[in-house]
Amino acid sequence: MLVVITSEKKIDKEAEYIHQLFEKGLPALHIRKPGWSMNEYDAFLKDIDDKYYTKIVVHNHHELATKFRLKGIHLREKDRLRLGEILGDHIKAYQDNDFSVSSSFHSTDEVKTTASAFDYAFLSPVFSSISKKEYPGRKFDVADLKATVIGLGGIDHHNIAMVEKLGYSGIAVLGALWQRKDPVTHFSQVMKSYHTVFTKMKTIL
């Protein structure tokens, strides 16, 4: 699975870039805009062609998943902890309505105890973060974990093979794209490397 996460900040021509990423074959986009209001999320989604909605996941204002019939929702770590004992019921309520539910984790122990209920889980930082310099990479090995784990943090076209060797089911990219002058061209490099590595391994298996 290949996921692109939006920049936290609004960037020029963002909807245009997103359309181009989908046209290049992007399977899933996570919209993560901390601090944005419901109306800002709503307007942002309306700028995106509705034919791509089934490939979009929102990190905030989850009710928009129902309004726009999106792919699903993502629970931030603090949301997951806040839900506590009703977490399982909350996840199931969305999954029963054909929405994917994912969440963010920062240790393999957390993944072992909680992640199996989710459709997939982000684990970070795998490598030193490109967008957040204060987060050094930890190179988590997830080969023995039963959950579907997506690697996040410092991932770019040159280290995707290492991500696969560590046992991940896919990658999520953020800073590798949005800190570039031409994110769409760079996405093509990332996607090419991703398919080379992960398709090759499926063939071997």
Q: Find the angle CA(143)-CA(148)-CA(152) to the nearest 5 degrees.
A: 80
Q: Whole domain around residue 53: which residue ranges? A: 2-204
pLDDT, the chain, mean: 94
pLDDT in tens, 11-50: 999 999 999 999 999 999 999 999 999 999 999 999 999 9
**The tokens 């093979």 sit on which residue?**
161
Structural domains counted in the chain: 1
CATH, residue 138 = 3.20.20.70
What pLDDT is recorded for position 199?
79
The answer to whether the CB of 20 falls within 8 A of the CB of 189 is no
- Give the type of residue at 73: I
pLDDT in tens, 64-101: 999 999 999 999 999 999 999 999 999 999 999 999 99
In this predicted structure, the answer to whether residue 179 has a pLDDT above a threshold of 80 is yes
Please give the average per-residue pLDDT across 143-154, as a whole number: 95
In angstroms, rounded to a whole number, what is the distance separating the alpha carbons of residues 180 and 157?
13
Task: Give me the torsion for CA of 142, 71, 21, 155, rounded to 10°.
Answer: -20
What pLDDT is recorded for position 204?
43
What pLDDT is recorded for position 7?
96
Q: What are phi and psi of 122, to 5 degrees?
A: -85, 135
Q: Find the angle CA(78)-CA(82)-CA(83) to the nearest 5 degrees.
A: 125
Beta-bridged to residue 17, according to DSSP, are: none
The answer to whether the CB of 55 falls within 8 A of the CB of 26 is yes
Least confidently predicted of 103-112, 127-136, 179-188: 127-136
In this predicted structure, the answer to whether residue 203 has a pLDDT above a threshold of 50 is no
As a three-state string, the secondary structure of 65-91 is: HHHHCCCEEEECHHHHHHHHHHHHHHH
In this predicted structure, the answer to whether residue 205 has a pLDDT above a threshold of 60 is no
